[in-house]
């Protein structure tokens, strides 16, 4: 009997004000079967997963040019030689992730690829690197965007932290609504950014070609600084390492495959292609135009600083309306680059949690079928980082690319082993195609590994060492969590059939106040569970000054309980009055439970607790928490043979004739 209810909403489940607010903010609760309609295509995929990658174009070339600044005008020569290998690397990554997506259409993330091909250790390394990277990406992305915004509108300078946290809130809420909603919401700025810079780069390239390589800028960029150094291998390597940040975000599609609608491989490929093509075009265009328009990086710490893209836009189209639209969309894309993390981090955590390396809550789909715990955790962690650094997270940037390139390397290496296995399996594809695949991933693995080494060395002192320490620490944490679940699983494992140990009904202790309808109902319920019922009343629960009515209670007991039960031909329940010396209801009850257990030869005992149901918020203030305290203390301290029976009681029950039954 597998019941699939049409609507699981219960008629008397009238939503409270909090639930109404949440529904307004996040949208209605979605059913599992609505999952299909919540999947995304390439149109939403690019804004959802691509913002990290696309926004890289804004800071990758700039970062490389900044390192090259001491070279003066020569930097314009070298930027070409830096960006060429970066774009080549991008293409290699594109080819290899294209293959990864096809090989692992369910989830092609570095974690899964490493787990399947390299084993648990490597997969945990990938998971830890990705997790740290995602948290950093949120903090750094938002603060970089806000930094750019503030340098455009200096009035906002006093509100950096508030702006950061505000954007974090918007991105968090959008993603709690679901990846589809976030993708749709952020589509406008994304495509506006792409369109504006397509126009700018197009005009710029046209002008360059027409003018024979020396276009006249509309607004001339500032003079390049004088050279103070000659080019050295070390400087160029550092520029390369800095420029490599342009590539972070390319792995996003493979990590978020579960977000795509059927067939996921098709939409994954489409999204990946759009992202890489746009990113590649932007990188090449920026490098070329920087050269022809003679635009270099400026010192951020000096007043009058302008970013490379801003100089480039005003050089090509001047400082008109179009310039402002382009820069505004760029700011949006920078601020929202955090969204990629919000799409991938919860999905990664879900997979890791399903393997019992993270708490189970990460694997539970929330009201909008996204993994809300992961989203909230990411928001909290990056919010704390932003708060701790006051919204200025420059110092975190060096920590940043390591995780990405470590994951690239692991995932590529995993793919190499994957193809090798495919090649060896008898049902493999044609040998040649597989060899080609293997070759692409090998090149990918080697180049990203080389880039990783360069980045670690170049940035070690600036803070990369923190990542080098943090990743193993996270791995240890994940393993500890797994150890806990492992131990638990072995504790609950049961290979024997059901043991019927004691078929006698339990002794039922009914915790009660005076004689009233609640006690009446509780005793009636208790007698249907077992013929062996004891009423337990506690004296002085409120303190030594509470009045006691023991004699009255005993008289009530005889008249209202013993007589009718005896008349029904049953053994009448006993009444026990205990004194709560420490005003803790559970202590005397537990003591009684233990005494009875010893006396009655290990009989099971059930403690029946009548509980008043609170239907209005103010009732929580008007009642004591004795029932709930007793319940939770019995749970915590009770012996293994103890049951706790809650009998809810509602105010209406006192008004209607008692016990309308179900139905």
Instruction: Please report, as residue ranges, which positions from 510 to 539 form the binding site for its own copies (by CB under 8 A).
Output: 515-521, 523-525, 527-530, 539
Task: Output the smallest distance, CB 3 to its own copies, in A.
Answer: 5
List the interface residues with its own copies, window 543-602 (CB under 8 A). 543-546, 550, 559-561, 563-565, 568, 570, 576-584, 587-588, 590-594, 596-598, 602
Say whether residue 74 binds its own copies (CB under 8 A). Answer: no
Q: Applying CB under 8 A, which of residues 8, 25, 162, 384 lies at the interface with its own copies?
A: 8
Minimum distance from residue 295 beta carbon to its own copies (Å): 48
Of 157, 214, 504, 549, the one binding its own copies (CB under 8 A) is: 504
20 lines the binding site for its own copies (CB under 8 A):
no
d(CA 273, CA 416): 22
CB of 650 to its own copies, least distance (A): 7
Strands 605-612 and 642-649: parallel
Q: Which stretch binds its own copies (CB under 8 A): 60-68, 78-86, 425-433, 504-512?
A: 504-512
Q: Residues 200 to 219: which contact its own copies by CB under 8 A? A: none
Residue whose structure tokens are 């648990």: 120
325 vs 365, beta carbon nearer its own copies: 365
Interface with its own copies, residue 258, by CB under 8 A: yes
Q: Cβ closer to its own copies: 216 or 493?
A: 493
Q: Which is nearer to its own copies, 84 or 651 (CB)?
A: 651
Question: At a CB cut-off of 8 Å and minimum separation 6, what does 268 contact?
Answer: 45, 101, 105, 108, 253, 254, 257, 260
- The alpha carbon torsion through 486, 492, 496, 497 (nearest 10 deg) reads -140
Q: Which of residues 371-430 bind its own copies (CB under 8 A)?
A: 371
In the DSSP assignment, the letter for residue 583 is: S
Number of residues that bind its own copies (CB under 8 A): 136
To its own copies, the closest distance from the beta carbon of 591 in angstroms equals 6
Inter-CA distances, 61 with 184, 246, 274, Å: 29, 7, 20
Q: List all residues 6 or more positions away from 400 whose beta carbon is below 8 Å from its beta carbon.
A: 133, 136, 137, 140, 245, 248
- By CB under 8 A, which span of 174-182, 281-289, 451-459, 632-640 interacts with its own copies? 632-640
DSSP secondary structure letters along 443-470: HHHHHHHHHHHHHHHHHIIIIIHHHHHH
When asked if residue 111 is in the footprint of its own copies (CB under 8 A), the reply is no
Q: How far apart are CA 189 and CA 195, in angstroms?
A: 10
What CA–CA distance (Å, rounded) separates 271 from 41?
8
Task: Give helix 308-317 / helix 187-210 axis angle, nearest 10°.
Answer: 60
Task: Say which residue the tokens 């918020």 belong to.
Answer: 617
**CA 439/CA 432 separation, integer angstroms:** 10
Cβ burial of 579 (10 Å; 0-12, 13-18, 19+) is exposed
Owner of token pair 């494992």? 493
Supply 19's token pair.
Answer: 């639930």
Nearest to 367 by CA among 12, 18, 5: 18
Rg (C-alpha) for the chain, rounded Å, is 33
Helix or strand holding residue 227 (H, E): none
> Which residues in 463-482 contact its own copies (CB under 8 A)?
481
Q: Which residues contact 222 (CB under 8 A, 6 or more apart)?
A: 298, 306, 311
Of the two residues 395 and 582, which places its CB atom closer to its own copies in the complex? 582
Pick between residue 191 and residue 560 the one whose CB is nearest to its own copies.
560
The DSSP 8-state label assigned to residue 334 in this structure reads: H
Cβ 34 to its own copies, closest distance in Å? Answer: 9
Candidates 155, 424, 499, 551; binder of its own copies (CB under 8 A) is 499
Shortest distance in whole angstroms from residue 496 CB to its own copies: 8
Cα–Cα nearest to 247, from 282, 274, 279: 279
User: Which residues ranging from 323 to 362 are in contact with its own copies (CB under 8 A)?
Assistant: 350, 359-361
* Binding of its own copies by 642 (CB under 8 A): yes
Piece in contact with its own copies (CB under 8 A), picked from 140-148, 267-275, 332-340, 617-625:
617-625
Does position 235 interact with its own copies (CB under 8 A)? The reply is no
Q: CA dist 542 to 515, 538, 539, 612, 626, Å?
A: 18, 10, 8, 18, 10
Q: Which is nearer to its own copies, 357 or 400 (CB)?
A: 357
**Residues 162-201 within binding reach of its own copies (CB under 8 A):** none
Cβ of residue 359: shortest distance to its own copies, in angstroms? 5
Q: Which is nearer to its own copies, 476 or 542 (CB)?
A: 542
Query: Measured from the CB atom, is 241 or 527 closer to its own copies?
Result: 527
Q: Which stretch binds its own copies (CB under 8 A): 209-217, 335-343, 387-395, 497-505?
A: 497-505
37 is written with which tokens? 């309609």
Q: Which of the ranges 83-91, 146-154, 278-286, 484-492 carries the binding residues for its own copies, by CB under 8 A?
A: 484-492
Spatial neighbors of 341 by CB under 8 A, at least 6 apart, are 52, 134, 135, 137, 138, 141, 378, 382
Neighbours of 648 (CB within 10 A): 10
Give the residue with the Cβ less far from its own copies, 347 or 459. 347
Does residue 641 interact with its own copies by CB under 8 A? Answer: yes
Nearest distance from C-beta of residue 175 to its own copies, angstroms: 16
């Amino acid at each position: 009997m597998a019941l699939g209810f049409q609507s699981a909403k219960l008629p008397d489940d009238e939503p409270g004000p909090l639930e109404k607010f949440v529904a307004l903010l996040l949208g209605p609760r979605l059913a599992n079967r609505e999952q299909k309609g919540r999947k995304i295509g390439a149109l939403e995929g690019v804004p959802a997963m691509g913002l990290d990658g696309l926004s890289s174009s804004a800071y990758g070339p700039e970062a490389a040019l900044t390192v090259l600044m001491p070279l003066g005008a020569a930097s314009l020569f070298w930027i070409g030689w830096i960006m060429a290998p970066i774009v080549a690397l991008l293409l290699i990554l594109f080819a290899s992730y294209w293959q990864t997506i096809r090989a692992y259409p369910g989830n092609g993330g570095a974690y899964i690829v490493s787990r399947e091909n390299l084993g648990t250790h490597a997969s945990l390394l990938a998971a830890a690197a990705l997790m740290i990277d995602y948290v950093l990406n949120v903090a750094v992305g938002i603060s970089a965007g806000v930094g750019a915004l503030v340098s455009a509108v200096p009035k906002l300078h006093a509100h950096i932290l508030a702006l950061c946290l505000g954007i974090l809130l918007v991105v968090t809420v959008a993603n709690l609504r679901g990846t589809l909603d976030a993708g749709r919401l952020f589509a406008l700025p994304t495509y506006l950014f792409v369109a504006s810079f397509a126009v700018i780069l197009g005009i710029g390239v046209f002008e360059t070609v027409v003018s024979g390589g020396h276009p006249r800028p509309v607004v001339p960029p500032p003079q390049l600084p004088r050279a103070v150094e000659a080019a050295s291998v070390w400087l160029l390597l550092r520029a390369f390492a800095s420029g490599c940040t342009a590539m972070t975000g390319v792995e996003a599609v493979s990590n978020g495959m579960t977000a795509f609608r059927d067939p996921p491989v098709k939409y994954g490929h489409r999204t990946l292609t759009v992202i890489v093509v746009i990113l590649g075009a932007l990188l090449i265009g920026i490098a070329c135009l920087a050269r022809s328009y003679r635009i270099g990086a400026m010192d951020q710490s000096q007043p009058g600083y302008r970013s490379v893209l801003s100089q480039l836009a005003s050089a090509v189209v001047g400082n008109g309306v179009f310039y402002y639209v382009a820069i505004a969309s760029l700011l949006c894309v920078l601020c929202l680059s955090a969204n990629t993390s919000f799409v991938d981090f919860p999905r990664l955590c879900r997979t890791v949690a399903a393997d019992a390396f993270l708490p189970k809550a990460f694997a539970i789909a929330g009201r909008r079928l996204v993994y809300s715990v992961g989203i909230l955790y990411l928001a909290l962690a990056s919010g704390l980082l932003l708060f701790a650094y006051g919204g200025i997270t420059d110092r975190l940037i060096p920590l940043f690319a390591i995780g990405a390139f470590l994951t690239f390397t692991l995932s590529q290496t995993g793919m190499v082993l994957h193809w090798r296995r495919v090649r060896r399996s008898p049902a493999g594809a044609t040998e040649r195609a597989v060899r080609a695949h293997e070759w692409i991933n090998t090149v990918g693995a080697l180049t990203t590994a080389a880039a990783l080494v360069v980045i670690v060395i170049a940035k070690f002192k600036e803070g990369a060492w923190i990542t080098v320490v943090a990743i193993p620490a996270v791995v240890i944490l994940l393993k500890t969590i797994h150890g806990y679940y492992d131990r638990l699983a072995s504790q609950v494992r049961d290979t024997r059939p059901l043991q019927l140990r004691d078929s006698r009904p339990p002794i039922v202790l009914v915790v009660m106040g005076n004689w009233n309808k609640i006690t009446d109902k509780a005793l009636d319920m208790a007698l249907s569970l077992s013929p062996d019922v004891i009423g337990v009343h506690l004296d002085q629960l409120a303190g030594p000054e509470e009045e006691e009515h023991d004699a009255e209670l005993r008289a009530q007991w005889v008249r209202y309980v013993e007589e009718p039960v005896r008349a029904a031909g049953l053994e009448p329940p006993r009444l026990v009055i205990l004194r709560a010396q420490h005003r803790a209801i559970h202590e005397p009850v537990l003591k009684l439970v233990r005494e009875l257990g010893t006396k009655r030869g290990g009989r099971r005992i059930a403690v029946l607790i009548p509980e008043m149901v609170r239907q209005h918020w103010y009732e929580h203030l008007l009642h004591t928490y004795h029932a709930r305290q007793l319940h939770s203390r019995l749970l915590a301290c009770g012996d293994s043979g103890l049951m706790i029976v809650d009998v809810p009681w509602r105010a209406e029950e006192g008004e209607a004739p008692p016990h309308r039954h179900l139905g």
